[in-house]
Structure 1
Amino acid sequence: MPTTAATAVPEVATHGSNLGSASIDLTASAHSVAHAATVALIVTVVAVFYLLTCAVWPFGKCRRCKGVGKFKSPFGNAFRHCGRCDGSGLRVRFGRKVISYYRRTHSAASNSTSKGDK
């Protein structure tokens, strides 16, 4: 009972020439490059959206007092102001700090070069 026909197909598919395996490797690497490009695009879109959100709404709730701005005394009705936000209940978001840093750096660079041209 020869079974060469049944085993010949898997042998050709699995033990083919180097050209066949090279084309599989190129396909795999092209797939990984496309996957990395997609991930990079998604990360860029999310970062731009976050920075736009921080430009429109630069403040968030203070994390210590949860946006209330004060703490209640455990006994009685006395309050004290939050030391982190000075009683405002707000904090500057990280993205807004990045935007402000970029504006400050860009403004300083443009001012220093315009003064040097005179």
Structure 2
Amino acid sequence: MLSRAATAIPDPATHGSDQIHAVATLTAAAHTAGQVATVLLIVTIAVGFYLLTCLVWPFGKCRRCKGVGKFKSPFGNAFRHCGKCDGSGLRVRLGRHLINHMRAVRGAGQNSTSKGGK
């Protein structure tokens, strides 16, 4: 007795193989589009959270003096003020610069004298 496989292997030259390939391509594209949408959603949430924290805490530590506002002299116990933060120990965060810029642009657009009709 000859036994045959339960499923036949389709011949690559058959007409149905093009349809199977197209379905596989569309399925892969759908997975890729879903992954891109998920990554974009995560990035959008992260940027929104960062901008929210910049609204609440607009200042960070000065990077040069590490938030102390002064440097110790190499000789003795004298101190001098940090030149970058002028001795405050603070710097404006990058996200706060962006928020301030967006507010300035929006304010300039609302205060414009070229609004038309007059």
TM-score range, shorter chain: 0.7 to 0.9
What TM-score, normalized to structure 1?
0.85
Which residue type is aligned with residue 99 of structure 1? I
What TM-score, normalized to structure 2?
0.85
SS for the counterpart of 2:68 is: coil
1:103 aligns to what? 103
User: CA shift at 1:49, angstroms?
Assistant: 0.4
User: CA shift at 1:117, angstroms?
Assistant: 5.9
Give % identity: 63
Deviation >4 Å, runs of 4+: 113-118
SS for the counterpart of 1:84 is: coil
Q: 1:79-118 alignment to 2 at 5 Å?
A: 79-113=79-113
Q: Per-residue CA shift, 1:31-60, capped at 9, x if unaligned?
A: 000000000000000001000000000000
More helix, by proportion: 1
- Stretches of structure 2 that go unaligned for 5 or more consecutive residues are none
Q: 1:1-118 alignment to 2 at 5 Å?
A: 5=5, 9=8, 11-12=9-10, 15=12, 17-113=17-113
Alignment coverage as a number of residue pairs: 115
Q: Distance in 1 between matches of 2:115 and 2:104?
A: 16
- Stretches of structure 1 that go unaligned for 5 or more consecutive residues are none
